[in-house]
A and B are shown apart, each in its own frame.
Chain A
Amino acid sequence: MAKYYDIDDILIEEEFAPVIFHKPVNGVTIDPSAETSCVEQGAKVELPFWLAHELHLRQAVSINLPACFDQKTRLEIQADAACVDLRSRCPYFYEFGCKLQPLVTDRTIGILLSTAFKIRYKERLTKVFTATHLTASKFLPFLTKEETNLYEAAHLSMTTFRKWRTGGPRFQRASILGRKRKES
């Protein structure tokens, strides 16, 4: 488990996925529609991915695609992927999709993710260097975490290059101290 300590991986695995229970479960309150603290066989419950995954490995549940990958989203991506607000669907749209792909019966997730990413990369992320602040601020809130990381990396490399060109200060207060100015 190379990503055991990885904060993003922990956050991704908290995303919810709908499951159907194949086995009854006693002594747990994860099914809000149950009257007692148990889950019946055949119950449909939304579980966090980390739990759904482990139960799936033990054949206790089967996992379905969450709402963020539904038909409505797919149609929007088909129409104009660059404009879809993926972050509101799921901030970790791509990584979550990748984790789900081997576990669900739907075989089209992979194509959906790679298509969406290719289009959005080409239309949005390559324009980092040329986009004005106004256009950038419009689509930045629509980017997923993964896309935002790429955007910030590009922005950082561009800033560093410009700084090198103009010869700005090479010594800095340690970034680890934060940006807040101390009153002197």
Chain B
Amino acid sequence: MMYGRKGYQLVKDFASGEKGLLKPFNSKLFDETIEECEQNHGLIQSLITKMQQEGLDVQNNRNADHYGALVHHLSLTRNKRCLMAYVHNRAEIVRDLAWRVGLVLLELPPDIQEKLTALEKDYFKNHSKAIKSYMGKLGIELNVDMVPPKDPYIKIRVVGDIDQGIMMSDKTTNFTRHSMHFLKRTDAEPYIARNQLTYPPCLIGGKI
């Protein structure tokens, strides 16, 4: 049975992932859905041709061939909807990555990068560019302080691999592993989001 089935499987594959998280792009199902569309298209053509050969008015005649072509047309548009939704919903997550994790593609964790197609990576880069340009015009960094701050400085510990000698807004720091530092929130936030820094959660009575 080839009536919108592949498109449905593709959407189901997307839905089976955890909400808001990307799975690898399912090129196999994607291509199979397109192939199903082509089969539908071929059958529409042959049914219309048959009607024309019988000398019938294709636009207005409602015979069995017309309804057959209709079913194939509806299946094709259904598959189209599934393909569009798949790409659209993934793009939403890609945009979200730029806001929540970081604006530079290569700074994203590698296991996320490998789930994106080349086109999605370009989309990410262009979206980041647009965000940066907008922030530049406003003069504010929009992707920090997503949670309202209580304190401008926080204490953090390095857990991931960060290049040495990073310039912070008020000093240069060497981020050796397991070292602890006292940083400005806005400087630390992107690294925490990328899981390269962690901050020891305070017990009751402390504040972050």
Contacts and interface: CB of A to CB of B under 8 A. Distances in A.
B104 interface: no
B201 interface: yes
B4 A169 contact: no
Interface string B77-92: 0100110110011000
Interface stretch (B29-37, B94-102, B133-141): B94-102
Contacts of A28: 3, 68, 71-72
Given A170-B147, A176-B93, A27 B78 contact: no
A150 interface: no
A88 to B, nearest CB: 18
Given A7-B89, A168-B201, A30 B150 contact: no
B207 A167 contact: yes
A24 B8 contact: no
**Interface of A: prevailing SS:** loop
B176 to A, nearest CB: 14
B101 A23 contact: no
Given A14-B8, A169-B201, A27 B15 contact: no
Contacts of B75: 51
A50 B11 contact: no
Contacts of A174: 100-101, 193-194
Contact of B78 (A50, A172, A179, A184): A50
A4 B194 contact: no
Q: Which of A6, A7, A8, A48 has the most CB of B within 10 A?
A: A7
B158 to A, nearest CB: 10
A61 to B, nearest CB: 10
Nearest to A59: B62
A4 B20 contact: no
Given A5-B85, A11-B15, A50-B74, A171 B189 contact: yes
Nearest to A3: B85
Contacts of B1: 29-30
9 contacts: A10-B81, A24-B67, A28-B72, A30-B3, A51-B78, A169-B208, A170-B147, A173-B194, A178-B21
- 9 A-B pairs with the lowest CB-CB distances in the bound complex, closest first: A27-B68, A26-B64, A169-B201, A26-B68, A174-B100, A24-B64, A25-B67, A173-B195, A174-B193
Interface of B: 1-4, 8, 11-12, 14-15, 18, 20-21, 43, 46-47, 62-65, 67-72, 74-75, 78, 81-82, 84-85, 88-89, 93, 96-97, 100-101, 109, 112, 147, 150, 154, 159-160, 188-189, 192-195, 199, 201-202, 204, 206-208
